[in-house]
Amino acid sequence: MSTWDDLAVGFAPHPRIDKPLKVSDFVRYQGASGDFNPIHHDPEFAAKAGFPTVFAVGMLGAGRLATYVTDWFGPDNVRKFGVRFKEQAWPGDELTYAGAVIERREENGERLVDLELRCTRQTGGIHLTGWATVIVP
């Protein structure tokens, strides 16, 4: 956990490199979230839709990017978290989660930090961009 004094604009903790994505990761997330779109677990369905195979649920990477933030600041301290979906991620991809402080401010007696977030593929391609606001008690 970072302290207020650590959190200067530009501060960035170590990125997290995840294990290669497996279809079972997609299935597990789909079971947990209730999004049963077959395009993420049924290769035949994905092929009919014009894709080479199944691809990752965007919200799985989003959830893991959120975990990167909650491991850093604690889950109770999140006030905002968002993602924008860029290129798809595929089975076997090794995703890296990273973030940096872009602003810090005090509002209504709370110390707030705004973060810029990113999830990239091993190719360098961007899977997700994200943003978050957290409080630092």
Closest listed residue to residue 85, CA positions, set 48, 56, 114, 115: 56
CB of 114 to other proteins, least distance (A): 13
Answer yes or no whether residue 85 interacts with other proteins by CB under 8 A: yes
- C-alpha distances (whole Å) from 17 to each of 84, 98, 116, 118, 137 are 20, 9, 17, 12, 28
* Number of residues located near other proteins, criterion CB under 8 A: 39
Answer yes or no whether residue 79 interacts with other proteins by CB under 8 A: yes
Beta-strand relationship, 126-135 and 78-85: antiparallel
- How many Cβ atoms from other residues are within 10 Å of residue 104's Cβ? 16
CB of 58 to other proteins, least distance (A): 5
CB of 94 to other proteins, least distance (A): 14
Question: Of 44 and 87, which has the nearer Cβ to other proteins?
Answer: 87
- Alpha-carbon distance of 93 to 81, in angstroms, equals 23
Q: Which residue of 13, 38, 43, 63 would you call a contact of other proteins, by CB under 8 A? A: 63
Type of residue found at 89: A
Binding site for other proteins (CB under 8 A): 18, 28-29, 31-35, 49-52, 58-60, 62-64, 66-67, 69-71, 74-85, 87-88, 132, 135
